[in-house]
């Protein structure tokens, strides 16, 4: 199976990374989450509701919608914060040299294998964020860029919503014994498709640097 893959590239201040990652990953998870399944008997079940709430950003002009589940908020916050700290620590170690990194949200299903072979995790959708840290010289630049990043994230959130409404592969609804091969059943109030978050850092690419300079030029010329 070839997983559907999407890549977003952004240049951000260090303090904006956690909020940018959270806004995009929460949007994705909101669309890839169902209410808790309640089985009455095999093949007969009802699906609970998914609570939601508005989330306001502190360093970006953006408000977005996310699942109100406390557990899923903790997971996203933990991974987004760890990625942000990793990028910022790398920048300090290289004495301010620009650093870039990637963080991905992967949705997968589990394929059981015959004994003695282990089960296999098969990705069916992967969303990659490539981010480069940047430093702005003045508060005026920070305010302008705060607004620009908000606009960029809003565009990406709209793109995600439109993508989710298009026909695309999702695992077929399983029967009760196979539920945890498709969904994460560990949450008390919701049931997202199985997912994992991973990240790493790397030197900035030439194309990414060109994108950053063009974006800065466009923003500060307003």
State yes or no: pLDDT of 202 exceeds 80. Answer: no
Cβ–Cβ < 8 Å for 70, 183:
no
| pLDDT tens string 86-135 | 998 876 665 555 579 999 999 999 998 887 888 899 999 999 999 999 88
State yes or no: pLDDT of 38 exceeds 80. Answer: yes
Q: For residue 192, what are the β-bridge partners?
A: 33
What percentage of the chain carries pLDDT values higher than 70? 86
Whether this prediction's pTM lies above 0.85 is answered by yes
State yes or no: pLDDT of 213 exceeds 70. Answer: no
Look at residue 204 in the predicted model and tell me its pLDDT: 59
Cβ–Cβ < 8 Å for 12, 20:
yes
Q: Which residues contact 59 (CB under 8 A, 6 or more apart)?
A: 13, 15, 16, 19, 146
**Predicted confidence band at 1 (pLDDT cuts at 50, 70, 90)?**
low
């Amino acid at each position: 199976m070839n997983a559907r893959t999407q890549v977003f590239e952004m240049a951000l201040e260090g303090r904006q990374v956690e909020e940018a990652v959270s806004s995009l990953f929460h949007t994705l998870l909101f669309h890839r989450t169902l209410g808790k399944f309640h089985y009455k008997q095999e093949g007969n079940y009802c699906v609970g509701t998914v609570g939601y709430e508005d989330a306001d950003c502190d360093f970006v002009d953006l408000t977005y919608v996310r699942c109100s589940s406390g557990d899923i908020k903790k997971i996203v916050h933990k991974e987004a914060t760890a990625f942000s700290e990793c990028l910022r620590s790398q920048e300090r170690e290289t004495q301010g040299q620009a650093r870039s990194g990637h963080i991905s949200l992967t949705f997968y299903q589990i394929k059981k294998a015959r004994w003695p072979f282990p089960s296999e995790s098969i990705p069916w959708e992967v969303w990659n964020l490539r981010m480069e840290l940047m430093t702005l010289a003045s508060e005026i630049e920070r305010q302008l860029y705060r607004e620009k990043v908000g606009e960029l994230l809003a565009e990406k959130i709209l793109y995600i919503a439109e993508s989710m409404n298009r026909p695309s592969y999702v695992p077929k609804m399983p029967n009760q014994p196979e539920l945890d091969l498709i969904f994460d059943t560990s949450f008390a109030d919701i049931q997202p498709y199985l997912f994992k978050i991973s990240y790493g850092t790397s030197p900035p690419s030439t194309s990414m640097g060109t994108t950053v300079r063009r974006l800065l030029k466009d923003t500060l010329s307003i």
